[in-house]
Amino acid sequence: MGRSSTQLLRTVLAGIHYSGAGRLLAPLIRGDGAIFMLHHVSPEPVPAFAPNRILTVTPSYLEQAVLRVRAAGFEIVALDEAVRRLAEPDAARPPFACFTFDDGYRDNRDHALPVLARHGVPFTVYVCPDFAEGNGELWWLTLEEIVRRSERIEVPAALGGKPAEILPASTLPEKIRAFERLYWPLRYGNEHGSRAIVRALAEAARVDPLAACRRLAMDWAELRALAANPLVTIGAHTLSHLALGRLPAGEARWQMAESIERIRRELDVDCRHFCYPYGDLESAGPREFEMARVVGVSSAVTTDKGMIKARHRQTLTSLPRVSLNGDFQHACYLDALLTGLPFACYDAARPLAASARLVTGRPSARANA
């Protein structure tokens, strides 16, 4: 999401909060509950060049989120309990909330766990076995490091680069433009081809494409210790963090089923929940939702924006989530989201957004889930 779009959304959310409209409508539109999506939790200051900054929130914001969610009348439960409540609806119960973390980062243990344990909050961590084994490619972070280190970058022909198209990257504005120029075609290109391109760019910039994984992701031993905590549920996130919707059916099924089996084998847990990498419509659709049903998970989450409504009781393998991200770390934004009103507006605007994508050929928002 660009800076202007981010500021516009902040203004809209603040307006919903301070006008009181969301609070008035919440009992009618917020539905059965919410599943929150997070990635990194860190107290470190954000550097000037941080194109992936949306993926990180501070521990203090996470704690504020827990308190605001409870103050809004939600009961925070584990995913298993949320699925049970969807199967056995009871209008007398308060709406539920679940906290989920994608990818299995070490900071989930170091910075999120102390906050959540202090408040008795159960949570789910979705794990990629390749990350736990130190050979996963967090290509979006590798690309960030490539641009950070480079003064100029040659755009590969496979990304539509013109002959000798060179991206300047010596100043902060140039680095921001260079990252965006490279990110989008990589994000929506052929999965294996895009990763090969990032590896080639990394070699030219003398960046280790596996360094981010080994520095940031928990290994199996760390995950075993985490999984032993009664607050923690471990879910699967494919073997290699690939967009399943852009893979052949056989490979997509294998990525899904094998990740679940490997987690069960390595951690000795019953892996019942799944998260689609990226999770947008181009990465997970009806084919993948049916695959999740066939492999037998209890739930599967997307990055589709929204609260959990009555209709989702029949579609447990395509559940929406509410993103808690680094660009919106203010109580008023979260309070507005918890009313459900922003998502009601989003649902009403979906046909227009779909038309815009058809016209421009570009995604409407960035997702790195």
Q: Say which CATH number the domain at 306 has.
A: 3.20.20.370
CA distance 178 to 154: 10
Same domain, 70 and 130: yes
User: 248: which residues sit within 8 A by CB, 6+ positions away?
Assistant: none
Residue-wise pLDDT for 247-264, tens only, equals 999 999 999 999 999 999
Write out the H or E segment, with its range, that includes residue 34.
Answer: strand 33-38
Confidence of residue 21 (pLDDT cuts 50, 70, 90): confident
- Is residue 163 very low, low, confident or very high in pLDDT (cuts 50, 70, 90)? confident
Q: Is residue 274 part of a domain?
A: yes
pTM for the structure as a whole: 0.93
75 φ, ψ to 5°?
A: -105, 120
Q: Say which amino acid occupies 21.
A: A
Specify whether 246 is located in the same domain as 168. no
Considering the domain architecture, whether residues 38 and 75 belong to the same structural domain is answered as: yes
Q: In terms of domains, do 129 and 266 share one?
A: yes
C-alpha pair distances (Å), 365 with each of 37, 173, 278 = 16, 20, 12
Instruction: Show which of 205, 235, 256 is a domain's final residue.
Output: 205
Q: H or E segment at 21?
A: helix 21-29
In terms of Cβ atoms closer than 10 Å to its own Cβ (0-12, 13-18, 19+), residue 230 is exposed
Confidence of residue 24 (pLDDT cuts 50, 70, 90): confident
- With respect to residue 368, please indicate whether it lies within any of the assigned structural domains: no
pLDDT score of 368: 44
pLDDT band per the 50, 70, 90 thresholds, residue 160: confident
Q: What domain range is 54 assigned to?
A: 32-134+220-332
The total domain count for the chain is 2
**Residue 285: both structure tokens together:** 């659709």
pLDDT at 164: 80
Ramachandran angles phi, psi of 168, nearest 5°: -70, 145
Residue where the block lists tokens 């280790």? 208
- Asked which of 205, 231, 254 is the last residue of a domain, the reply is 205
- Residue 366 has what pLDDT? 43
Number of other CB atoms surrounding residue 3 within 10 Å: 9
**Are 50 and 123 found together in one domain?**
yes
DSSP 88: S
Place 369 in a pLDDT band, splitting at 50, 70 and 90.
very low
End-of-domain residue from the set 332, 348, 364: 332
pLDDT exceeds 70 at position 364: no
Q: Which residues pair with 102 in a beta bridge?
A: 126
Q: Indicate whether 226 and 315 sit together in one domain.
A: yes
Q: Are 115 and 145 part of one and the same domain? A: no
Task: Clarify whether residues 196 and 310 are in a common domain.
Answer: no
Q: Cα separation of 100 and 278, whole Å? A: 14
> What single-letter amino acid sits at 232?
V
Query: Is residue 137 predicted with pLDDT exceeding 50?
Result: yes
305 shares a domain with 167:
no
Phi, psi dihedral angles at 126 (to 5 degrees): -90, 125
pLDDT digits (tens, 9 = 90+) for 187-236: 999 999 999 999 999 999 999 999 999 999 999 999 999 999 999 999 99
Chain-wide mean pLDDT for the chain? Answer: 93
Contact 37, 321 (CB under 8 A): yes
